[in-house]
């Protein structure tokens, strides 16, 4: 994961490379102007005390002050621009990775924590390139101040360097302690975000149960930990600043005292003492370094959280194509799949002949949904192969696979601007006729036409029940077509009449392709050509519903009120 974080930060720096370079140059120019100003002030003072013309040096001081003002403004604008561009880059890259990786990152981190990483952590990590670019200038001030003191008189630099080890230890301790407390703070934030997302998604359940206060307490349970981490973070920075404040004035006082002695011995002029005093301030600019270093540590901790997401594997696609006239034959060979360390499917062998309909039944937790996900490569098995028309799914290109397999789920996500958009989702150029034909097959056309703007009704404003949402999801799957249609409990919220009508459209002899239907209903299983009975992660039997119904264990798979369904 550390390697992933380093690669991510390098990519972010390359993305804003030109602006970071300009920012670095502007920061160095600002530091350079800041280092030149004390010398110019000292020279102007000496000339004025001597009664000599000092107009040129006074003008130089004015130009340097104006330059510092302009450069500081440019640095502020560039820093904001680089931060915004880098944050946008990190969000695009991480979001693209999450979508390409499929449902496993959300299952691993939880939707709330994942969103917190994509939003908050990306914004914090986005400050890294600008902070690195400005760090050079933050170092240039103290280093340049020490060099300038040495040029004025070596004794001044020697006095200052006596405190250098203390400053080095201070910065090292700051980086170590800040990294630990920032990571703890961000983890607590992620847990609060995850609990909040869960509660918002289950708002109806919370209200029906009357547990709002209890859920509020559950959401805010990590708050004390968050507060402790925040206080610790401020304590670390405050302690570092306090130590810097204790050390820096002593060093500054030592430099000024030695400069005064050298002035009394006529080795320095009054202007040299003024310059030395200003350079001592620059050399003790630990506060700037503390701020920059703290920002870099926070950015690195946030990048680590993004690195954890990017470390999740993304499916690799091949470049093969399916046989042009393949019927959609689905085959699983010795498929084993695990979830959260538990073996859900164990050595499954299954063949679904092309053009047929197979119902997949089993008790809850038997692995039906995972098998359906494997059939369309929404997940990959830990062992074994899944083939479509004789071609292993990983060998297919992404476009070929997604054009060949369509999915419908028990809780479809109705994405898209309008109802027509959500039905045509994933199609390059969905025609209105194709969208409406798919809606009619899914028995969604009637209620869509009754919406205020029909198919042009915005999805967010379209009232729909669970069954209506499932019908829109089915319509989307019918519109996509393809060789294989996978229905993962996608009929569960339909009433009996609608379910019968949709199943009849699904089993239409004129409809091409193969159908894999995950179901809990005996009636749906009865209308399928064959049934695969999944039990304990293995295929226990394959046959017609009528054949399997003779076994009591098979009948027990279905709800008691369905035992009298048509067999």
Q: What is the pLDDT of residue 561?
A: 41
Q: Alpha-carbon distance 162 to 250, whole Å?
A: 11
Helix or strand or coil: residue 485? strand
pLDDT score recorded for residue 566: 40
Phi and psi torsions of 519, nearest 5°:
-145, 155
Residue 495: DSSP 8-state: -
pLDDT on residue 532:
95
In whole angstroms, what is the distance from residue 493 CA to residue 533 CA?
A: 22
**368: its two tokens:** 């039906």
- pLDDT (tens digit per residue) in 230-287: 777 777 766 666 666 666 677 777 888 888 888 888 888 888 888 888 888 887 765 5
Beta bridge partners of 539: 534
Which helix (H) or strand (E) segment holds residue 441: the answer is helix 432-441
Q: Is 145 helix (H, G, I), strand (E, B) or coil?
A: helix
Of 3 and 225, more confident: 225
Virtual torsion, Cα 135, 138, 142, 147, nearest 10 deg: 70
Residue with tokens 């995950």: 518
What is the DSSP secondary-structure string of 202-263?
THHHHHHHT-HHHHHHHHTTTHHHHHHHHHHHHHHHHHHHHHHHHHHHHHHHHHHHHHHHHH
- The residue written with tokens 């924590």 in the block is 113
Arithmetic mean of pLDDT, 172-181:
64
Predicted local distance difference test score (pLDDT) of residue 567: 36
pLDDT in tens, 285-318: 655 666 677 778 778 888 888 888 888 888 889 9
| Higher-confidence position of 397 and 230 | 397
H or E stretch covering 384: strand 383-388
Q: What is the pLDDT of residue 564?
A: 40
């Amino acid at each position: 994961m550390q390697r992933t974080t380093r690669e991510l930060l390098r990519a972010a720096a390359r993305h804003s490379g030109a602006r970071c370079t300009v920012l670095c140059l502007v920061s160095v120019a600002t530091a350079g102007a800041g280092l030149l100003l004390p010398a110019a002030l000292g020279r102007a003072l000496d000339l004025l005390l001597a009664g000599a013309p000092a107009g040129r040096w006074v003008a130089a001081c004015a130009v340097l002050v104006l330059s510092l003002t302009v450069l500081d403004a440019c640095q502020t604008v560039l820093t904001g621009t680089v931060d915004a561009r880098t944050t946008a880059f990190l969000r695009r890259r991480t979001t693209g990775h999450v979508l390409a990786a499929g449902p496993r990152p959300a299952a691993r981190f939880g939707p709330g924590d994942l969103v917190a990483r994509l939003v908050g952590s990306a914004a914090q990590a986005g400050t890294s390139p600008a902070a690195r670019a400005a760090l050079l200038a933050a170092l240039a001030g103290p280093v340049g101040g020490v060099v300038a003191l040495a040029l004025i008189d070596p004794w001044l630099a020697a006095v200052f360097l006596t405190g250098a080890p203390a400053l080095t230890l201070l910065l090292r301790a700051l980086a170590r302690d800040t990294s630990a407390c920032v990571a703890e703070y961000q983890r607590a934030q992620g847990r609060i975000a995850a609990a909040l997302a869960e509660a918002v998604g289950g708002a109806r359940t919370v209200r029906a149960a009357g547990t709002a206060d209890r859920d509020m307490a559950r959401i805010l349970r990590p708050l004390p930990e968050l507060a402790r981490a925040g206080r610790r973070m401020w304590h670390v920075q405050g302690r570092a600043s306090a130590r810097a404040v204790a050390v820096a004035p002593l060093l500054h006082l030592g430099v000024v005292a030695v400069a005064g002695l050298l002035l009394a011995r006529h080795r320095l002029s009054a202007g040299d003492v003024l310059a030395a005093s200003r350079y001592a301030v620059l050399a003790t600019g630990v506060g700037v370094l503390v701020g920059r270093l703290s920002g870099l540590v926070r950015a690195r901790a946030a990048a680590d959280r993004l690195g954890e997401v990017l470390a999740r594997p993304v499916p690799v696609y091949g470049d093969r194509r399916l046989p042009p006239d393949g019927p959609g034959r689905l085959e699983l060979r010795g498929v084993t799949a695990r979830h959260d360390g538990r073996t859900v499917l164990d050595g499954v062998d299954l063949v679904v002949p092309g053009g047929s309909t197979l119902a997949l039944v089993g008790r809850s937790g038997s692995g039906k949904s995972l098998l359906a996900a494997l059939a369309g490569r929404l997940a990959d098995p830990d062992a074994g192969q899944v083939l479509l028309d004789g071609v292993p799914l990983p060998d297919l290109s992404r476009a070929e696979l997604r054009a060949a397999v369509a999915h419908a789920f028990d809780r479809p996500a109705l994405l898209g601007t309008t109802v027509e958009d959500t039905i045509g989702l994933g199609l390059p150029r969905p025609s209105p006729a194709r969208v409406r034909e798919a809606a009619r097959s899914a028995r969604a056309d009637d209620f869509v036409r009754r919406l205020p703007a029909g198919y042009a009704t915005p999805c967010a404003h379209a009232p729909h029940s669970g069954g209506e949402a499932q019908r829109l999801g089915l319509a989307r799957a019918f519109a996509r077509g393809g060789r294989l249609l996978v229905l993962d409990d996608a009929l569960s919220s339909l009433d009996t009449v609608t379910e019968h009508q949709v199943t009849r459209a699904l089993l239409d002899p004129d409809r091409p392709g193969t159908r894999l239907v995950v179901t809990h209903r005996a009636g749906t299983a009865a209308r399928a050509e064959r049934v695969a009975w999944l039990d304990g992660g293995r295929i226990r039997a394959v046959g017609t519903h009528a054949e399997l119904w003779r076994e009591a264990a098979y009948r027990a798979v279905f709800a008691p009120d369905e035992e009298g369904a048509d067999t």
